[in-house]
């Protein structure tokens, strides 16, 4: 019981730490994330004891009350905050580490009707942006950021930033643990399309310079040829 109470206190603390809109501990009681996690801890307890119907009934009640669907078989670490949360779906074999921040519309799902492990494993200190989909039985490394609406279909190493459809790693940083401000930052994400366009523009500019130089030399050569022909009276 004391462990359960301590877990609830931790969840309240992390809401206050990561959501500037939360003004008091009392206000955290209105957050669907807190209740979704509490319901899940209870449902998971029944699931581990093979009381599957009761576990599923609790998870479905939580889904109707919070808009967050967490299968009772999923394993969730400490201090996980599901901000806003509406439309979040977490599958049966998903595993989530500690200090993870998940925004609305996120899916941690599978890719078909595989048996066994079929949902992702999320490391510690991970941010998953709004609308992102992480699909498949692979690991997303510690300290990783997944941009909004990204679709991640393969393993991601630690300290990576992933954006796009399908998801591509656009940045890797060596950092043990991001600060709260760094984890919450969803603005300073590299834009791989813009970066590629910049590279192409630089390449085109370089080719245009070379072409202009070739044209200049060709004109000089033609002028020299005309001059020689005039001297020979041709």
* Kind of pairing between the strands at 75-76 and 95-96: parallel
Q: Which CATH superfamily is domain 2-188 in?
A: Hexapeptide repeat proteins (2.160.10.10)
7/227: higher pLDDT? 7
When mean pLDDT is compared across 103-117, 149-163, 174-188, 218-232, the lowest value belongs to: 174-188
User: Are 97 and 117 within 8 A, CB to CB?
Assistant: no
Interhelix angle for 32-48 vs 52-66, to 10°?
Answer: 170
**Which of the two residues, 199 and 132, has the higher pLDDT score?**
132
CB 22 within 8 A of CB 28: yes
Phi, psi of 36, deg, nearest 5: -60, -40
Q: Measured between alpha carbons, how far is 62 from 16 in angstroms, rounded to an integer?
A: 22
- Structure confidence at residue 154 (pLDDT): 92
pLDDT digits (tens, 9 = 90+) for 31-43: 999 999 999 999 9
pLDDT (tens digit per residue) in 9-64? 889 989 998 888 888 889 999 999 999 999 999 999 999 999 999 999 999 999 99
Q: Residue-wise over 33-58: b if at least 16 C-beta within 10 A, else e? A: bbbbbbbbbbbbebbeeeeeeebbeb
């Amino acid at each position: 019981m004391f462990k359960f109470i301590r877990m609830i206190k931790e969840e309240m603390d992390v809401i206050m730490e990561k959501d500037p809109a939360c003004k008091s501990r009392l206000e955290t009681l209105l957050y669907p994330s807190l209740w979704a996690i509490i319901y899940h801890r209870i449902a998971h307890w029944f699931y581990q004891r093979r009381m599957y119907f009761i576990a599923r009934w609790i998870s479905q009640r939580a889904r109707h009350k919070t808009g967050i669907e967490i299968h009772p078989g999923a394993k969730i670490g400490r201090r996980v905050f599901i901000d806003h949360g509406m439309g979040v779906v977490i599958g049966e074999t998903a595993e989530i580490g500690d200090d993870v921040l998940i925004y609305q519309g996120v899916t941690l799902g599978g890719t078909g009707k595989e048996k066994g492990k079929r949902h992702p494993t999320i490391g510690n200190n991970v941010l998953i942006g709004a609308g992102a989909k992480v699909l498949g039985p692979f690991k997303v490394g510690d300290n990783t950021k997944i941009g909004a609406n990204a679709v991640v279909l393969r393993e991601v190493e630690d300290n990576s930033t992933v954006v796009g459809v399908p998801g591509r790693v656009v940045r890797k940083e060596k950092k043990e643990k991001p600060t709260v401000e760094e984890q919450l930052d969803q603005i300073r994400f590299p834009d791989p399309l813009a970066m590629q366009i910049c590279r192409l523009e630089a390449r085109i500019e370089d080719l245009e310079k070379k072409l202009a130089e070739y044209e200049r030399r060709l004109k000089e050569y033609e002028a020299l040829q005309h001059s020689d022909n005039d001297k020979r009276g041709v």
